[in-house]
Amino acid sequence: LSAQRAHVAFRGAPAQLASPRFLLGTVSCTLFLAVNSLYSSSDDVVELTPTNFNREVIQSDSLWLVEFYAPWCGHCQRLTPEWKKAATALKGVVKIGAVDADKHQSLGGQYGVKGFPTIKVFGANKNKAEDYQGARTSDSIVDAALSAVRSLVKDRLSGRGGGYSSGKQSSYESGGSDKKDVIELTDDNFDKTVLDSESVWLVEFYAPWCGHCKK
C-alpha cells in the first residue's frame, strides 16, 4: 500500500524517485537539515536575522556580542556550547546573539564577515562594530563583554556616550517619569519591572524631603 501511494505521489517521475527507498532517503535528509541549526529558541542566545537585526541590535541601547556563523563550520560547532554558556552568564547584563551568515549572507556581508565564526561587539556606536579577537571560551567571552561594559559606562559618565539598557526598553518605560534613564518604581510596577526582569537592577529607596537623597 505504501509503495502504491508513493507511486501516485510521484506519477510521471522516474521509477527510482517513486520507490519507498528514495522516500526514506528524502525524509532522512530533511531531518538532518532540520537539526543542523546551532541554536534554538530555548537558548539564551538571541537568533538574529535581517528581519529583526536592526530592531534588536542597532536600535537598542544594549551592548551586544554577535556571532556570525555557518552551521556546517566545525569551528562554529565547537564554539556553540561556549557561546551558550556565555549567554547564560551574561543574561540581563549583555545581549548575546547569533546570525546564520551562511543563510543570511547579505547581513554577514554588511558587517564585513569573511570567515566563520566572526564575533562582533556592538557598543555605543552601533555603526562601528568592533571585532572580538579573544579566545573562544565562555570565560574569555564574558571577560571581554564585561570589559566592554566598563569602557562604555566610563564613556557615558564622562559624557561621551548615550543611554544604556540591558533589558527591553518597553519594560522600562513607565508613565510619570520624564527621565527614561531612571525608572520611577511604585507598588504597581515594581514586581513586573524589577523582580520579573532578567536585567540587573540598582534601586534607590529615597524620601523627597531627605537632604542626602537630594544630593
Catalytic machinery residues: 73, 76, 210, 213
Count of residues making up the chain: 215
Q: Are 152 and 63 in contact (CB under 8 A)?
A: yes
Residue among 181, 203, 182 nearest 191 (CA): 203
* Angle, CA of 108, 114 and 118, to the nearest 5°: 70
Concatenated DSSP letters for 51-81?
Answer: TTHIIIIIT-SS-EEEEEE-TT-HHHHHHHH
Three cell numbers, residue 90: 551574561
The H-or-E segment that residue 143 falls in is helix 138-157
Beta bridge partners of 119: 67
Three cell numbers, residue 72: 556546517
Q: Are 203 and 194 in contact (CB under 8 A)?
A: yes
